């Protein structure tokens, strides 16, 4: 008798399974198709991204090689032309290459004496929406602050430097030296010396930066 009950139970389970599959087979097939489409789409996207990166790398190297071959001491018009070419490239390039191109363009604009264009690029690179990582955004803000001294109000420059002076920021020693110079220019010698003492005592600061801080302290001490 138990065998008969077992057979009946098996038959009932098999019948329920057939009905379930008959009812939901279409949904299973659709789900499987969607999974395959998703995998295929992801692979296609990866291929496309790789292709774009390779193309951007080739274009960037061609631009920078041409600038390097021209050598130092380019005429102002040539530097500005190359800077514009890098900016145009950055407008269409992937985020990483766009960031590199804008940094290079800012340096060329600055070398050509077009401080306004250079500062505009550093401002853009320093913004949170720039696509650059936090270290490069910090560098852009530091470069902007260094070149804005004496042109932009001290309070505006100091506001840009303050976040970079946090001990956890990789640019904090450089930012503190620049802030100290601002204080010295404003006659705030005690504040300047406090900042310079911190840089001078920081074993992680580069040796040349510690030497600069010590030299400025000596100047303050008369």
Q: What is the mean pLDDT of residues 48-56?
A: 59
pLDDT at 29: 57
Distance between CA atoms of residues 86 and 11, nearest Å: 74
User: Whole-angstrom Cα distance, residue 71 to residue 111?
Assistant: 13
Encoded tokens for 68:
């390097």
Q: Which tens digits make up the pLDDT trace of 145-178?
A: 999 998 999 999 999 999 999 999 999 999 999 9
CA distance 154 to 151: 9
Counting other chains too, the contacts that 206-210 makes at CB distance below 8 Å and 24 or more residues apart are 206/173, 209/173, 209/174, 209/177
Average pLDDT over residues 122-131: 87
Q: What is the pLDDT of residue 53?
A: 61
State the Cα angle at 176 between 175 and 179, rounded to 5°.
Answer: 85
pLDDT tier, 207 (very low <50, low <70, confident <90, very high otherwise): very high
pLDDT band at 77 (very low <50, low <70, confident <90, very high): low
């Amino acid at each position: 008798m138990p065998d008969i009950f077992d057979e009946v139970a098996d038959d009932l389970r098999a019948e329920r399974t057939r009905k379930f599959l008959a009812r939901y087979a279409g949904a299973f097939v659709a789900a499987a198709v969607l999974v395959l489409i998703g995998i295929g789409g992801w692979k296609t996207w990866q291929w496309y991204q790789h292709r774009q990166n390779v193309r951007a790398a080739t274009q960037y190297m061609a631009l920078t090689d041409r600038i390097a071959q021209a050598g130092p001491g380019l005429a102002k018009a040539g530097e500005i032309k190359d800077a514009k070419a890098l900016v145009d490239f950055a407008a269409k390039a992937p985020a990483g290459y766009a960031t590199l191109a804008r940094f290079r363009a800012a340096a060329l604009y600055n070398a050509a004496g077009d401080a306004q264009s250079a500062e505009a690029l550093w401002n853009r690179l320093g913004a949170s929406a720039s696509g650059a990582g936090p270290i490069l955004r910090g560098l852009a803000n530091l470069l902007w602050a260094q070149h804005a001294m004496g042109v932009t109000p001290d309070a505006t420059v100091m506001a840009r430097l303050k976040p970079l002076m946090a001990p956890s920021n990789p640019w904090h020693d450089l930012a503190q030296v620049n802030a100290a110079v601002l204080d010295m220019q404003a006659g705030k010698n005690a504040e300047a010396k406090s900042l310079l003492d911190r840089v001078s005592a920081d074993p992680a600061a580069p040796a040349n930066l510690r030497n600069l801080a010590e030299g400025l302290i000596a100047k303050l001490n008369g």
